[in-house]
Structure 1
Amino acid sequence: MLAIRLHAFGPAENLVLEEVGDPSPGPGQVRVAVRAAGVHLLDTALREGLPGPAPRLPDLPTIPGREVAGVVDALGEGTPESWLGRRVVAHLGFNPGGYAELAAVDAGRLHEIPAALDFAEAVAMIGTGRTAMGILQFAGLGPGSVAVVPAAAGGIGTLLVQYAKNAGATVVGLAGGPEKTARVAANGADLAVDYTDPGWPAKVRAHLGGRTATVVFDGVGGDAAREAVALLGPGGRHLVFGWSGKGLHDGAPYLVEGVSEQVLGPVMLERAGGPDPVRTLELRALAEAAEGRLTPAVHRFPLAGAAAAHRALETRGTTGKVVLEP
């Protein structure tokens, strides 16, 4: 099979397309003929050899990628035969192997893809959608809400805008540049503004006409977060789930005491509850998409374009969830 391999930590150019042996599914596993593989910002950090939320760096050489969708074409010992031939999607956790034409996956991680979704959309919902569902547990959105969404053209931001609109909230979406801003407007935001324009907060205040924001969904940090938090009124909430902008504090989140709440990791899973909170959020995300309430944005690259996908993600040159298609 063809796969993207990393032999040395470093720049995106270190991701190379190679011919490697086909994986064999072990006991309780399936083999998936991959039709779409998710690319995550964490993948770029691991590629560089940087510490992050992963328990450890991968052993080299490695095939990156932790989200796959495709068709089951082989079964390991003890795996139910009913999986064979089914369209499936799975998050691999911290196990790599997704950037390839074939991937071995634990059957317990599989979800059958709803008929309404293609492979790339399913990958977007199993990772990005799952995270969005986790964040939204803390939002309390309703008809009186005013939601501000930085990075509203991104994978998570796109879903947050849609969900907030469905809940009856007024939605302000922030994005960098006219192309991304136009996408945010087309996605349903009541106001889409370019946060690279120094006057954007004044535009938001003028649009709200005396109202204040009730919630800021912040995965960016930096100056955009600081200015967005200043739009909150009394009792407003700043939900922090990332700091990709690396503006203030050398990449640390922008936090305001009594206003900001970090909602990643164990906090998110504790709120989800159930015997398997990760799967709970995955099921919610897939159901929202299957019923047409959420439509993920997908930025597609060919498998051979993995390096280009990483560069685009690192330079904020993407819109929506980045997906490789073998």
Structure 2
Amino acid sequence: MKAAAITAFGGPEVMRLIDAPEPQAGPGQVRVRVKAAGVQHYDCAVRGGWTPAYGLTVRLPQIPGNEFAGIVDQVGEGVTAFAIGSEVLGFNLLNCYAQYVVVGVDQIVDKPTSMTWEEAGGLTGNGQGAHIALQAIGVKPGDTVLINGAAGSLGAFAVQLAKEWGAKTVIGTASLRNHDYLRSLGAVPLTYEAGLAERIRAIAPDGVQAAFDTAGGEGLEAAVALVPDKNRVCTFFAYDRIEELGLRVVRGERSAARLAELAELHTQGKLRIEIREAFPLERSADAHRLIETRHGRGKIVLTID
């Protein structure tokens, strides 16, 4: 099968298109013919030499990718919930930048007919990440919530989930060119410049109850200054500052149940998946270069023939 793989640890240039053995579904597993695979900073970290702390061993050449959508083409012994031809989306820790991926049935859900393949391939990672973060900071009806870096894929999912969960006001930081986009998601947009905390106070005189940071910088400083309970501030960006700022490490497990909830919100028209750019598999290096600019909005995905 065709796959995009890390051939050495380093920059985007180490990504290569390779021929790899086709995986086979074992008991309780399915094989999925991948149509689209999302690109995440997680993948870039693995490419740079980071090993996920899940007991995994990264062996070169390593196929990265941890989210996908496609069509089941092989079912293992004992599988009854999915059949050959089922259209699904799901997650894995590695190996999704490929024509085929094998996963357990607890890692996939049915793809809504409302989703394109690109949208389905790009939902799992950032969608579940936003869900985990907002659950951790306890977003509830009536809250005013700050999302720092709200136009990126992770931030945009967080904005929409916060609104869905009853937040009174969602304030989102982003570059000026993305403000109309944030308004369309239901957020009050602000730029990142100095004095952000004061501008937020003007919008939210009753205070900010919770904050989720995806970009660091002035937005994270404002979150720490404005939210009284530091247990209700979460960063998925400035991990090196968590202890200094008195925040807690937020971890959570992706699950089929969480993913099914997100898929249902999309079916109901309550969760929009913005696609920034789709690259063919052979241009995985370009996809990595683009995501590492940390500019722009929406999800970057690979499409696979």
Q: TM-score range by the shorter chain?
A: 0.7 to 0.9
Q: Distance in 1 between matches of 2:39 and 2:302?
A: 7
Cα 1:108/1:321, change in 2 over 3 Å: same
Tell me by how many angstroms 1:168 deviates: 4.2
Unpaired stretches in structure 2, ≥5 consecutive residues: none
Asked whether the 8 Å contact 2:38–2:66 carries over to 1, the reply is yes
Q: How far did 1:38 drift?
A: 1.7
**In structure 2, how many angstroms separate the alpha carbons of the residues matched to 1:108 and 1:217?**
28
Secondary structure of residue in 1 paired with 2:277? strand
Q: Measured at CA, do residues 297 and 243 of structure 1 come closer, stay the same or move farther in structure 2, by a change above 3 Å?
A: same
CA distance in 2, matches of 1:58, 1:77: 28
Q: Which residue of 207, 224, 227 corresponds with 1:229? A: 224
Tell whether the 8 Å contact from 2:137 to 2:234 is kept in structure 1 after alignment. no
CA–CA distance in 1 between the matches of 2:267 and 2:5? 33
Q: Do the aligned partners of 1:161 and 1:188 also contact (CA within 8 Å) in 2?
A: yes
CA distance in 2, matches of 1:295, 1:115: 14
The question of whether the paired residues in 2 share the 8 Å contact of 1:214 and 1:237 is answered with no
The Cα of 1:312 is off from its aligned counterpart by 1.8
Partner residue, 1:294: 271
Structure 2 equivalent of residue 273 of structure 1: none
Normalising by structure 1, report the TM-score: 0.82
CA distance in 2, matches of 1:139, 1:146: 12
Equivalent residue number for residue 262 of structure 1: 249
- The match for 1:309 is 287
Deviation at 1:324, TM superposition (A): 1.1
Q: Residue deviations 1:242-289, cap 9 Å, x none? A: 125x7xxxx3336544xx443323xxx5xxxxxxx7333222222222
Task: State the match for 1:172 in structure 2.
Answer: 171
What is the match of residue 126 of structure 2?
128
Matched, 1:321 2:299: yes
Secondary structure, counterpart of 2:242 in structure 1: coil
* Segment of structure 1 superposing worse, 55-64 or 118-127: 118-127
Q: 1:206 aligns with which of 171, 191, 202?
A: 202
TM-score calculated relative to the size of structure 2: 0.87
Q: Contact conserved, 1:218 with 1:238, CA < 8 A, in 2? A: no
C-alpha distance 168-123 of structure 1, shift in aligned 2 (>3 A):
same
Equivalences for residues 6-85 of structure 1 within 5 A: 6-80=6-80, 82-85=82-85
Q: Distance in 1 between the 2:211 and 2:37 partners?
A: 30
What whole-Å deviation, never above 9, does each CA across 1:130-179 have from its counterpart, x for those lacking one?
2222222234444532111001012221122112223142111012x222
CA RMSD of aligned residues (A): 2.6
| 58 and 71 in structure 1: CA distance in 2 versus 1, 3 angstrom threshold | same
Distance 1:103 1:50 in 2: 22
SS at match of 2:300: strand
Amino acid at match of 2:233: L
Amino acid at match of 2:110: E
Residue 67 of structure 1: how far off its partner (Å)? 1.4
Asked whether 1:253 is paired with 2:242, we answer yes
Q: Does 1:242 align with 2:231?
A: no
Give the superposition deviation at 1:215.
0.9
8 A contact 2:106–2:255 mirrored in 1? no
Unaligned runs of 5+ residues in structure 1 are: 270-276
